[in-house]
């Protein structure tokens, strides 16, 4: 019983420190890369390190430019983007579907949105058109300049 008294708090501490995204405070949080206020809840992004350091961005291109220049891949725990179809809701970047469309204007002008499902992507494409992209294509586009 005594061992449980010491082990249980350690387990609780470890579980409570697991790296996870934070809610973005739109209008108050500042983009780590471009230093602009994060105001649009359809395009923001977030990067979480293994040490639970949170970096917030106003767009996916800011996240990708930051990732290329300022952080090592092995430091990254997860990457998150807003689900365009559910403003303010973060989805795992690795599972997202991407669409480049001049119909939708992102804060930094790359005009790439992300959604959680292929069905939602097809719905937006059917309505407004656009070019479907994958993670690598979006990363390359963000770092062309």
71-106: burial string, b at 16+ Cβ within 10 Å, e else: eeeeeeebbbbbbbbeeeebbebeebbbbbbeebeb
pLDDT above 70: residue 15: no
Question: Which among 108, 103, 111 has a CA at the least distance from the CA of 138?
Answer: 111
pLDDT above 50: residue 58: yes
Q: How many residues does the chain have?
A: 145
Q: Quick one: 136 exposed, middle or buried, by C-beta within 10 A (0-12, 13-18, 19+)?
A: exposed
- Every domain of the chain and the residues it spans: 21-142
pLDDT above 50: residue 67: yes
* Averaged pLDDT, 22-41: 96
Euclidean distance between CA atoms 16 and 6, whole angstroms: 16
Would you state the pLDDT for residue 52? 95
């Amino acid at each position: 019983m005594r061992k449980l008294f010491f082990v249980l708090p350690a387990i609780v501490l470890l579980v409570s420190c697991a790296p996870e995204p934070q809610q973005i405070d739109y209008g108050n949080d500042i983009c780590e890369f471009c230093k602009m206020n994060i105001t649009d809840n359809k395009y923001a992004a977030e990067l979480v390190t293994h040490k639970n350091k949170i970096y917030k961005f106003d767009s996916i291109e800011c996240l990708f430019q930051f990732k290329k220049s300022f952080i090592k891949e092995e430091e990254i725990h997860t990457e998150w983007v807003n689900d365009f179809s559910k403003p303010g809701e973060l989805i795992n970047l690795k599972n997202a579907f991407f669409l480049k469309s001049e119909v939708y204007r992102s804060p930094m002008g790359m005009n790439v949105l992300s959604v959680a499902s292929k069905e939602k992507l097809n719905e937006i494409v059917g309505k407004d058109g656009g070019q479907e992209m994958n993670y690598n294509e979006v990363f390359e586009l963000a770092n062309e300049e």
